[in-house]
Chains A and B, each alone.
Chain A
Amino acid sequence: MDTTALRLFLKRLFRRKLVLFGALVLAAVVLLAIAAPWVAPYSPTGMKVTQRLKPPSMVNWFGTDEFGRDVLSRIIYGGRASLGIGMAVVIASMLAGTTLGLLAGYFRALDGIIMRIVDAMMSLPDILLAIFLVAVLGASAGNVVLALAIVYTPRVTRVVRGSTLVVRELPFVEAAHVLGVSTWRILTVHILLNVASPILVQATFIFAYAVLAEAGLSFLGAGVPPEIPTWGTMIATGQQYADQAVWVVLFPGLAIVLSALSLQLVGDGLRDMLDPKLRKAL
């Protein structure tokens, strides 16, 4: 993309100030997580027994937790696990959902069975299906990713199938057929490129849902082991001290809210830009 196209792209994406706000917050959160060892004021695991449950101050901006650990540093490090898990869930569910959606949308014979399975999975609340899968697979960061990827794959499948059904009837696909282009190439080049924008929009929303769901699973004790700092495990272990030190719960939660909100704002902006027909659907 040359610079003019890029400038046009950014100008259209950030036409609404809220979208710009979302993108800036998201960039800040991601950069903080990546640069954690350099920007975190303290070690995320360094305990100071004399400094237990200290309220926010100039020394510890977000206060300290029950072991005297710096809450801000733990949030910055926690972003690595929380956002990393979210990212992995997005990649896995996009790959699986796009494949299944293309197959269901293009091959009539597969449509019925794939979509019935999608219906069955979507008849269960996300968090319930996720906790069941983690229970079966065992609680670990990898299995949380796998479980959440399975939970969100049906959503992607639905969107991709819907778009594929429309695109496959368009003249250029027919033309490719007539010219003898292979089915594989039609699917992976002609159709996939034309359903890419709804997939991209879904990806940002699923990222937000995955961050929220990971926190929920960790909170229930069916997610990431409590010794790994994630925003969810911080709230889970902090809740029993919430009476005396509300900051141990407040700030990790704000990190979740800000991340999920900024992801949804960016997703909303992308949708506005890529699909004008959907604009009124908020």
Chain B
Amino acid sequence: MFTAITRRLAGMLVVMFIVATMVFFLTRLAPGDPASLMLGDQATAADIAELRKTYGLDQPLLVQYVLWLKEVATGNLGQSIFLQRPVLQAIGERAEPTFFLALFSILIAALIGIPAGIASAVWRGRHADQTVSGLAMLAASIPSFWLGLLFIQFFAVRLGWFPVAGYGDPGAGLAQRLYHLILPATVLGIVNSALITRFTRASMLDVLSEDYVRTARAKGLPENRIVLRHALGNALVPIVTVVGLTAALLVGGAIITETVFGLPGIGNLVVSAVLRRDYPVIQGALIVIAGIYVMINFAIDVIYTLVDPRVKT
């Protein structure tokens, strides 16, 4: 068991190393010199040369790469060009709305997707199954920004039930801030429920044909007890995995929804960094987001190794 965890840990480091490498070299493909970009149009050649020296941009690319890896490994993601502060600090300041948005969205997605998937599997091939499958596909076909705009029009502008955008006034209490997340979280919850529905259905169908389910039926147990206790209990492993990984992807994948609803989250930070070509922020955000995904993935694996006796070294 211990070796399995160590091996996963090594794999995770390799993946992070590749992400960092990819991010570094791809950024260098971008047109324009980072130093002249930082200083703007007014800079003289001497200023640019000076800054290139300070940031080590006059060194050969491979030397820069090694230096950058060293910085990243020690948790230093550099300085934002426009925000005048360390990238990690800028990300930290934006973390709260993104965290709560991901949390609420995944809760809504799971509340829709798991019961729908169970119903679909239990009534396989019947009308309920066809309807659920069709609706899941519909949900996966909706652009989140479009649904967001329509929700804003209907629930915020027309009905006035929810704020149109933003994250509350400065100094707004937690309840006020979270109230601003209801609409965006509902949008993301609906769109992301499709994948969870599909996985729940597939996973339930797998276990419903197992011997122990037949045994439970033969014992004359009530059907809902069989489905919810015997089957769901055993189908839960892949369901929890997909819920966890979807949550991880929501941390960086909510950029469009954050933009539509004007939420000052990490996604919003990335979009403005892209539009302003603030490369240190883009690089840093990519590394942090990939890191969160890889760590949640690792955590899920470790939990299984600890809980499930069948997962062997």
Q: Do A and B bind each other?
A: yes
Q: How far is the CB of B44 from chain A (nearest CB, A)?
A: 26
A33 to B44: give the CA distance in the assembly, Å.
50
Which residues of A lie under 8 Å from residue B137 when comparing CB positions?
261, 264-265, 268
Which residues of A lie under 8 Å from residue B237 when comparing CB positions?
none
**Interchain CB contact under 8 A, B294 and A123:** yes
A119 to B17: give the CA distance in the assembly, Å.
11
A264 to B275: give the CA distance in the assembly, Å.
32
**Interchain CB contact under 8 A, A125 and B26:** no
In the complex, identify which listed stretch (A73-81, A90-98, A102-110, A239-247) lies at the interface while the others stay far away: A239-247
Q: Does chain A have a CB within 8 A of B150?
A: yes
Closest to B145 in A: A219
Q: Chain B 116-142 against A: per-residue CB contact (8 Å), 1 yes, 0 no?
A: 000010001000001001101110111
**Interchain CB contact under 8 A, B202 and A135:** no
A-B pair count, CB < 8 Å, reads 153
B19, B23, B146: most-surrounded residue (chain A CB, <10 A) = B146
Q: Chain A 190-217 against B: per-residue CB contact (8 Å), 1 yes, 0 no?
A: 0000000000000000001000100110
Within 8 A of B (CB), among A226-282: 232, 235, 239, 242-243, 246, 249-250, 253, 256-258, 260-261, 264-265, 268, 280-282
Within 8 A of B (CB), among A83-136: 116-117, 119-121, 123-129, 131-136
Q: Does chain A have a CB within 8 A of B270?
A: yes
Q: How far is the CB of A265 from chain B (nearest CB, A)?
A: 6
Closest to A239 in B: B149
Contacting residue for A242 out of B133, B153, B202, CB 8 A: B153
A125 to B290: give the CA distance in the assembly, Å.
8
Contacting residue for B143 out of A117, A126, A257, CB 8 A: A257
Given contact pairs A264-B137, A282-B201, A222 touches B274 in the complex (Cβ within 8 A): yes
Q: Does chain A have a CB within 8 A of B259?
A: yes
Q: Does chain B have a CB within 8 A of A220?
A: yes
A123 to B152: give the CA distance in the assembly, Å.
31
Q: How far is the CB of A42 from chain B (nearest CB, A)?
A: 24
**Interchain CB contact under 8 A, A261 and B198:** no
A135 to B37: give the CA distance in the assembly, Å.
14
Contacting residue for A257 out of B31, B141, B153, CB 8 A: B141
In the complex, identify which listed stretch (B52-60, B169-177, B249-257) lies at the interface while the others stay far away: B249-257
Q: Does chain A have a CB within 8 A of B66?
A: no
Name 15 interchain pairs, CB-CB below 8 A, sorted by A.
A116-B11, A123-B290, A125-B255, A131-B271, A133-B26, A136-B29, A216-B144, A216-B145, A219-B256, A221-B275, A242-B152, A243-B157, A249-B149, A253-B143, A280-B206
Identify 5 new A-B residue pairs, CB closer than 8 A, beyond the known A239-B149, A280-B206: A121-B22, A136-B29, A137-B30, A216-B144, A222-B275
